[in-house]
Amino acid sequence: MTGQLTWLVTGCSSGMGEALVKSILAAGDKVIATARSTADKSAEERLAPLKAVGAAVLEIDVKAPAEELNAKAKEAWSIYGQIDVLVNNAAYIDAGILEEIDEAFLVNALRNNVLGPLNLTRAFLPYMRSRKSGTVLFMSSVGAYYGAPGASAYAGSKGLLEGLIPNLTLELQAFGIRTCLLTPGYFRTKVMTPGNILYRAPNALPEYAELNKLIQAGCNAADGNQPGDPNKAAALVVEAVRGEGRAAGKELPARLPLGPDGFKAVRDNCEAKLKICDENIVRLSSTTPSNISTSSYHFTVPSFFWHFDNYCLPSLLFNFLPSFYLDITATTIMAFQGDLLSEKPVLDIPNKRSIFYHLKTLYIFTCNDFKVILYPQTAVGIFQALAGGLLTTNDTPDFMFILSRLPLVAFWNWFNLLTFNLANQRLQNSILEDNLNKPWRPIPSHRISPDEARSLLLFLLPVGIILSYFIGGFNETIAMIVLTWMYNDLGGGDVHYSVRNLINAGGFISHASGSTAIAAGYGLYELNGTAPYWLAIIGSIILTTMQVQDIPDMEGDAARGRKTFPLVYGGMAARISVAVGVMAWSFICPAFWSVNVGGYLLLVIPGVVVTYCTLTYRSVSADEATYKIWCVWLILVYLLPLYKNPEVFSRWGNDVLTSGMLPDLLLLGVIFNSFTSCEKMKTPTNEALGATVGLLGLGVGLASYAVVCRLQGNLSLFTALGVSLIDAIVAVFVYRLTLHPLRSYPGPWLAAATDWYNVYHCLTGDRHIDFLRLHEKYGPAVRFGPNRVSFCVDRALQDIYGVRANTQKSQVYSAFSHFFTVPASLTTIDRKVHSFKRRVTSRALSTGAVNGLQDLILKNVHVFCASLKNNQPGEKTTEEWSAPKDMSKSIQYLLSDIMGDVTFSKNWDIQASTTNRYILDLMSLGTCGINLAGHIPTVLKLNLDKIFFPTLTKGVQDFFRLSETQSSWRLAQDSASLPNRDLFAALLDARDPDTGKGYSERDLIAEAGILIIAGADTTATATTATLFYLLHSPEAYERVRAEVDAAFPRTDGVDCICIGSALASCVYLYACIEEAMRLCPPVGAMLPREVLPGGLAIDAGKYHIPAGTDVGVPTYALHHTEKYWPEAHSFRPERWLNQKGAEEKAEEISTGNNNSGTTAYAPFGAGRTSCVGKYLAYQEMGIIIARLFWLYDMRVSPGTHAGEGGKWWQGNFWEPSWGRDRESEFQVRDVFTSSHDGPQVQFRSR
């Protein structure tokens, strides 16, 4: 289908409807976006963002009476004179158990999801019939294809549509009107957001109380974690309707599943119905009268109706449903499915599944526990077997023999892990939880059914027992089967923490004992009399400290009703118990083995680290990191027997060193790290990758062996370790450059090999410029780190930062939490927590709130303007001109004083006094240090930042103390007695809607720190840059002065320059501000985002990024791309006036909705994490610059060139000069925000 179409879409205020409207506009079509009004917002207000991007808007409530919908159809038709495509997208969800709901509940669902769409369709059909063309789309759901507890009303209403629409299709075909049922899977919309989905039980029954809790907890957990990207689905729908792109040359199918889960739901449903037919064909056939041939009623899909005079009569289709579904699923729909959420369509027919399919299913059952169970327990068996006579009857263990047992040990551990996970994941509660939180697991992804999992478990249990009888670990296998039964079927994992920990301890003992017995050589050697005591100690360690694993997951455990130690006794009690337990066992274990001081230090030092981290760092991410440190401590416990036996250790070490095996052992760790990196990025580790990594290991191992042999005559431990270190580094670099999932993206090889490339440019302060250089050299997509990709494309702003983007803030932001212990609103990674904190700050910085703070702003601006003409002692003047003023410093002094007043109701008096100017130095060191730390996570986790970057680390710590001081002072004040309601008052009043809790003292300190930086630093850069460019552009300077003079008559005095319509009318002034921020964005490098599971498509699917990758758009580079900005390095304010009229621009400025009108501009960020203080910044900049032009003539002090590039750039000898060669460009150093000097300006009163 070609030509411009006109669409009408219902339910467009968010979600799939909003995504559809944007995709329609992107395709060049016209669209009318509709929504209903709510109690607090009109439909037009809800649709304002879509209106701003070009959509027509109209209020339509699909529940309205048919007469009203008829009138709305007429009104909609008159907007563009036609409607080519009607999309019935609006829907409503109530969750409720069928037995607990009433008739009104069901009627409400039918009115919203069935009767409403049908009534609206009937209202438009007369218009479409008259034109003999049209397309009507209905939004179905995967809920119509499989059951889910609590979804009876919603899924039932969608199922009714599934039954109705095929009939409508036949009725309308003669009029050239097409229909299509869209069947989306789970997409990342607001449908699961608390408040959107309602949980009601008019006839509540206590028997369903637990199930209702699970349903609600599951929906809450699914919110924001759905795998589907609505923007990609919307693009596919538009292509299917238009017959373009992936749908070129294809007919619009009767059903179009969206997303792999939607596709799979339809396919599985069809297969189930076909199976019923196949299994019951004899009985079904026997119902036919004997004188009628069944063959006369069998019709193929292309001929399921007869044509009579342009009308269609339905056939008598005995096999209509399965044949129709299967044909659509296997042919037409598959053609569209392509790259919606994965690069290849998913079409696995059960009877054609290969052995590799089933092996992968088994792998998926267990892969999530490799790091926790398989790897460490296998290592335990090998280590303890090597300890020889201390734990086994083999006094002289042979290293190569024990190493040869490694595959058996690993397989035995994996097999027992598989049986446990099969038993666990087949349970109803686990299936419900996995459907929402881990949909990739075999049962929720429909790779295997619960009954099939049960059958497999029944088969594997005796196999495991027989296997262990021959290879070892027989008793341990029996013990683990009993423990599995207790944990899962008897509910021991959920009953009480003591039972759970006891079962876990038994599991660890069984794994360790069996692994050791197999590694030592079953049938040849066995565990000695000391082993049971040592294993009992290991079990006791698990029993008393395992709650370290539960501390970061308190919210999830509470939702499931588990009684873990932290939930029973409180988080602090759990932390203390872990700390006490770890320290106690750090002394008991070495004492058991009677080791020397070195053996004690082996455990005590990491034990102190675990204790410190457990008691000090209390965020979820910090607790997860602490758990990993605890795991390292536990591995060191396992190594104690090896430490105790120096003869065995020396003999083993000598064998390793002289055979060249040590480098290869370390290489195994590198290969393991490579695989876990692939796992983190959710990319398939296929056979080719495995084979390649294996060959790499062999090659590097042989090279290491040659080097070691060459050095063998004078071999030392340090020499071997040095060779191994080089071996490991080479292996990592080769992997990152040749095998890494991002290897195809261009960029400097050094950046692909190591993150220290970014560290270097953080230190030189030129990351913003380096991004521009990289993109000019390599193109729009550049790999600038081992796991980082930069996109200099306008579409990437919405793809990466948009409300529906499948991303979250990068772990780079966790550096702030490292120093402040908790994240602030701008650094919070958790999307739900960030949303709450952002709402609080947004209300505090709303248009009305900022206008109420105007007196504080004007008071400080008055001091600033007066200080420019007053010369300080020692400053020289020339005639009537003032002494030169460094505007970078002067404006930063001003903005800092404003933020002190606005945030804390405490003026720092930086402008008038030098006492508090140290705050600015702390701000610079703080932002630079945090930015640097974020790019070296390993150094940060090991607390090596104090060694590598002591000055910056001290600067951050001093900045933390500053934030703490300001926060403590403000907490001591009575908010009601203060003259203005400051930002801190909003933080103190904020309450989490779910828990009712307010900000903690640590939260307030963190927010204070971020407000100090964000409120002063960024606005100061933008204001200074605007002055710089105006003073270097005489024509623009004169035009701004004339505009200010016209807007503010001199007879009214300077105080008339304040927030209001007169200031907003200075559109050329604001055009200069916009242009200055384009040339010098306050945050010029990048705001990184991490891609979530499901991956991310960027630039209309041109780039597919795997999960775990850091991506972003470098603002400075985007703003200097000639494709979007002709003469990108020139100061041309006029380019902003061409986009919008003066009246429209003035209205935007006065209301705080200052939209740039271009998609390649983001000085305040983009999407859901854009700057909430934009309105405050615009008003501050407008007032400051307007008053300066009203009061003074200004000039750059003769002979000074501060802030200029080219030969005047005063960088250090180690700073690169690329990009610093333009004298007319304001030069800044990137420290996440910006650091700068100049210009040196003189003032003369007008």
Q: What is the mean predicted confidence (pLDDT) over 545-555?
A: 82
Residue 1161 forms part of a structural domain: yes
The DSSP symbol for 371 reads I
| pLDDT one-digit tens code per residue, 956-1002 | 667 777 778 888 888 888 877 777 777 788 788 877 666 677 788 77
User: Whose structure tokens read 């580094």?
Assistant: 729
Please confirm whether the linkage preceding 780 is cis (ω < 30° from 0).
no
Residue 938 — very low, low, confident or very high, per pLDDT cuts 50/70/90?
low
Residue 152 forms part of a structural domain: yes
How far is C-alpha 806 from the chain's CA centre? 6
How far is C-alpha 906 from the chain's CA centre? 37
User: 3-12, 75-84, 472-481, 630-639: which range is least confident on average?
Assistant: 630-639
- In 246-276, which positions are buried (b, 16+ CB within 10 angstroms) versus exposed (e)? bbeeeebbbbbbbbbbbbbbbbbbbbebbee
- For residues 819 and 82, the model is more confident at 82
| pLDDT one-digit tens code per residue, 322-338 | 333 333 333 333 333 33
Residues 545 and 434 placed together within one structural domain of the fold: yes
Residue after which a domain boundary falls, among 261, 284, 310 = 261
CA distance 1222 to 1032: 13
Residues 21 and 59 placed together within one structural domain of the fold: yes
Residue 385's nearest CA partner among 638, 145, 719 is: 638
Q: Residue 261: enclosing H or E segment and its boundaries?
A: helix 260-279
Residues 176 and 133 placed together within one structural domain of the fold: yes
Q: What is the pLDDT of residue 748?
A: 94
pLDDT at 343 over 70: no
Residues 679 and 780 placed together within one structural domain of the fold: no
pLDDT at 305 over 60: no
- For residues 384 and 816, the model is more confident at 384
pLDDT at 237 over 50: yes
With beta carbons less than 8 A apart as the criterion, state whether 383 and 639 touch. Answer: yes
Q: What percent of the chain has pLDDT over 70?
A: 78
Residues 912 and 947 placed together within one structural domain of the fold: yes
Residues 717 and 766 placed together within one structural domain of the fold: no
Q: What is the mean predicted confidence (pLDDT) over 123-148?
A: 88
CA-based max dimension of the chain:
119
Residues 593 and 712 placed together within one structural domain of the fold: no
| Collapsed DSSP state (helix, strand, coil) of residue 1198 | coil
With beta carbons less than 8 A apart as the criterion, state whether 129 and 177 touch. Answer: yes
Residues 737 and 786 placed together within one structural domain of the fold: no
Dihedral through CA 956, CA 961, CA 967, CA 973, nearest 10?
-160
| pLDDT one-digit tens code per residue, 257-294 | 888 778 788 888 887 777 777 666 545 444 544 444 43
Residue 296 forms part of a structural domain: no
CATH number at residue 927: 1.10.630.10
Q: Which domain holds residue 1129?
A: 756-871+885-1245
Residue 292 forms part of a structural domain: no
Residue 655 — very low, low, confident or very high, per pLDDT cuts 50/70/90?
low
| pLDDT one-digit tens code per residue, 558-613 | 655 667 888 888 888 999 999 999 999 999 999 999 888 888 888 898 899 899 88
CA distance 821 to 809: 17
Residue after which a domain boundary falls, among 741, 774, 807 = 741
Residue after which a domain boundary falls, among 213, 239, 261 = 261
- Work out the angle between the directed axes of helices 1018-1031 and 1174-1191 (0-180°, nearest 10): 40
Residues 655 and 667 placed together within one structural domain of the fold: no
pLDDT at 673 over 50: no
Residues 557 and 621 placed together within one structural domain of the fold: yes
Strand partners, 1104: 1097
With beta carbons less than 8 A apart as the criterion, state whether 259 and 186 touch. Answer: yes
The segment with the largest mean pLDDT, out of 302-316, 807-821, 967-981, 1173-1187, is 1173-1187
**Angstrom distances, CA of residue 72 to CA of 36, 62, 936:** 12, 10, 58
pLDDT at 386 over 70: yes
| Collapsed DSSP state (helix, strand, coil) of residue 879 | coil
pLDDT at 1036 over 90: yes
CA distance 873 to 106: 81
Residues 763 and 833 placed together within one structural domain of the fold: yes
Residue 201 forms part of a structural domain: yes
The segment with the largest mean pLDDT, out of 64-68, 346-350, 546-550, is 64-68
With beta carbons less than 8 A apart as the criterion, state whether 1031 and 1194 touch. Answer: yes
**Angstrom distances, CA of residue 920 to CA of 888, 908, 949, 1028:** 11, 11, 20, 21
Residue 275 forms part of a structural domain: no
Residue 315 forms part of a structural domain: no
Residues 370 and 427 placed together within one structural domain of the fold: yes
Residue 737's nearest CA partner among 724, 725, 754, 761 is: 754
**Number of structural domains the chain divides into:** 4
Residue 845 forms part of a structural domain: yes
Mean pLDDT across the chain, nearest whole number?
78
CATH number at residue 68: 3.40.50.720
Q: What is the pLDDT of residue 826?
A: 73
Burial (Cβ within 10 Å: 0-12, 13-18, ≥19) of residue 540: middle
